[in-house]
Chains A and B, each alone.
Chain A
């Protein structure tokens, strides 16, 4: 018969060993499946955004890794480690999804802002264009009003120049007082009259001019012809100073040949001492109108 009592200690040790092995210390702490599960869980713990965006999934992952750590058999360990690894991966993916969705929200708002900005700029651009156009219109109106004023002014000046419409054209008379006595030099008043005339002539840009000088009957015919001619030419020179083209103008001195009043009185003689500027009809040249 075997002496049970002598082998008792051995039996106890054996049982203990078996018990220990089958119990808590039996699972290798570095089983590869468990390591994989722990690595996956590290990523969950390490990244704040996982906890921020997937707290429930993180909690489930932490529960799963704990269960795996407490597995009581290799088979259980493998199975629970697999589940724990998957739960950690799910937590990370869920967190990424929600993080991206939050960003999409923000981006959608930002995009709207940009589109609004674009619309704003378009509107501003259009407004600027409209305002520019309005200014243009305003300017054109002002110009037209000014032109009307000028035309009116010219009409008045024309009246001052005693313009007369005749069959030869529009006749303006520059009187004797506008010239220095017995000379062909214009007085200041004469220059002023020529200025008005030049302004008026700019309205008739395509008309030609005939300038005719006349004198009274005092003095020799040669002298009077010469003086009248030189006075006509003086008016032409003055007009040329005012940018009236020379080839528009023909001058002629008639001396005492064509009086307009009686030479018996000084008043009449003064009237006869004149220079006539004739604005010819369109297309007519001075030479065809000479007396």
Chain B
């Protein structure tokens, strides 16, 4: 065996050890940042009164959040990640849906109030 062969072998062994240690680590980290972001988004949705205006979407988000927590405890991190991704969008939808319902209600109320004002004016000044 010459020096280049020994060198090659050292590098092969090093690479194998490296990959064995790094690759499992990617799948093996709990998605804590995602969970924090998810908590925050659920809070936003509640603040927007999603419990009144988008209760279903809010429930999906909260249920999946709990399931994700359970998956993290069971060290099933890929499952947890998927659940967290879905829950995040559920919560975002809950928030924006609540906002849209409320905004459209407000616009309608304003339309009606202007109408009332106008007809009141007409009534008063065509007497």
Chain B binding surface, main DSSP class? helix
- B102-116 Cβ-contact flags toward A at 8 Å (1 or 0): 011011001101100
A122 to chain B: closest CB distance in Å?
9
* B117 near A82: Cβ-Cβ < 8 Å: no
> With contacts A94-B96, A94-B100, A117-B121 known, is A79 near B110, CB below 8 A?
no
> With contacts A90-B92, A93-B97, A121-B125 known, is A101 near B103, CB below 8 A?
yes
* A79 near B82: Cβ-Cβ < 8 Å: yes
> With contacts A93-B96, A107-B107, A121-B125 known, is A86 near B89, CB below 8 A?
yes
* B117 near A115: Cβ-Cβ < 8 Å: yes
A170 contacts B by Cβ under 8 Å:
no
B82, B86, B100: the one contacting A93 at CB < 8 Å is: B100
B118 contacts A by Cβ under 8 Å:
yes
A83, A110, A115: the one contacting B89 at CB < 8 Å is: A83
Tally A residues with Cβ within 8 Å of B.
25
* B93 near A104: Cβ-Cβ < 8 Å: no
Tell me, in angstroms, the Cα distance from A90 to B86 when the chains sit together.
13
A132 contacts B by Cβ under 8 Å:
no
Contact-size category for B: 20 to 34
List the B residue with the shortest CB-CB distance to A64: B89
> With contacts A97-B96, A97-B100 known, is A111 near B117, CB below 8 A?
yes
Tell me, in angstroms, the Cα distance from A86 to B91 when the chains sit together.
10
Q: Which residues of B contact A117 (CB under 8 A)?
A: 121
- B65-77 Cβ-contact flags toward A at 8 Å (1 or 0): 0000000000000
List the A residue with the shortest CB-CB distance to B111: A107
Of the A-B pairs whose beta carbons lie under 8 Å apart in the complex, a sample of 30, sorted by A's number, is A79-B82, A82-B86, A83-B85, A83-B89, A86-B89, A86-B92, A89-B97, A90-B93, A93-B100, A96-B103, A97-B96, A97-B100, A100-B104, A100-B106, A101-B103, A103-B107, A104-B103, A104-B106, A104-B107, A104-B110, A107-B110, A108-B110, A111-B113, A114-B117, A114-B121, A117-B121, A118-B117, A121-B124, A121-B125, A125-B125
